[in-house]
Structure 1
Amino acid sequence: MSTGGILLVALVIAIGLVGIIVPILPGGILVIAAIGVWAFVVGSAVAWVTFGIAAALFIASAVIKYTWPVKRMRQAQVRTSVLAIGAAAGLVGFFVIPVIGLLIGFVGGVFAAELATRGTVSRAWASTVHALKGVALSVGVELTGALLATVVWLVGVFMTA
């Protein structure tokens, strides 16, 4: 692959990494797709092994991303319905106040749903904090998996050069 092609793949990977932190784009999928395109174009055994390792890291982080935070939120007694309300409010907030409205809407939605069911501000806020920690943990796990996949790709690029 040419230097320009490698730089284009690196740019897509960087956009994917930003997309994980600022949830506008499907960041992890962009990262693994870019590495897959690189492996397809290069076509060597090293490229495909690199892609396989990166894909395994991506899949492992995706599994952990959805199981670990959910387990912690269940232990904190944050219900799935509350998270769904928070996600819906976050989606509305995203369009009302671009980008930052997602966080504001999510926090407001979770807090309002918990306040309606739990009745006290302190209990509602405690559940909201647990939900935020769960979301942060989820983003952190996905970002870690994508960064590890990126490191594997960089090693593969140097090995195929």
Structure 2
Amino acid sequence: MSAGGIVLVGLVIAIGLVGIIVPILPGGVLVIAAIGVWAFVVGTVTAWVVFGIAAAFFAAAAVIKYTWPARRMRDAQVRTSVLVAGALAGIVGFFVIPVVGLLVGFVGGVFAAEMAMRRNLARAWASTVHAIKGVALSVGVELTGALLATVTWAVGVYLTV
């Protein structure tokens, strides 16, 4: 692959990493897709092994991303319906308030749903805090998997150049 192609793949990976933190783009998917395109173009055994390792990091992060935070929220007695209400409010917030609307909508939606169900301010706030921690944990896990895949790709580029 040419230097320009490697830079382009690196740029797509960087956009994917930003997309994990700012959930506008499917960040993890962009990272693994860019590495897959690189492996396809390079076409060596080393490139495909690198892609396989990166895909394993991506898959492991995807599994952990959905199981670990969900278990913690279940232990904290945060109901799934509350999270769904928060997600829907986050989607609305995304379009109403540019940039930060997703976060503001999610927090507001979780808090409002908990207040409607429990009518207890302290419990509603505690559930909101647990939901925020769960989302942060989920983002952190996905970012860690994508960064490990990125480092794997960088090593692969070094080995194949």
TM-score, structure 2 as length reference: 1.00
Partner of 1:80: 80
Question: Aligned pair 1:143/2:139, yes or no?
Answer: no
1:48-127 superposed matches below 5 A: 48-127=48-127
Distance apart, 1:34 and its partner CA: 0.1
Q: Unaligned regions of 5+ residues in structure 2, if any?
A: none
1:5 matched residue in structure 2: 5
> How far is the alpha carbon of 1:120 from its aligned partner?
1.0
Report % sequence identity: 80
Q: How does 1:3-42 map to 2 (within 5 A)?
A: 3-42=3-42
SS at match of 1:98: coil
Counterpart CA distance in 2 for 1:123 and 1:84 is: 18
For residues 70 and 40 of structure 2, what CA distance do their matches in structure 1 show? 35
C-alpha distance after superposition, 1:77-120 (max 9, x if no partner): 00111000000000000000112000000000000000011111
Gaps of 5+ in 1: none
- Cα separation, 1, equivalents of 2:131 and 2:87: 11
Partner Cα distance (1:24, 1:55) in 2: 22
* Deviation >2 Å, runs of 4+: none
How many positions carry a matched residue from both structures?
161
RMSD of aligned C-alpha atoms?
0.3
Aligned equivalents of 1:75 and 1:39: distance in 2?
41
The code of the aligned residue for 2:101 comes to: G
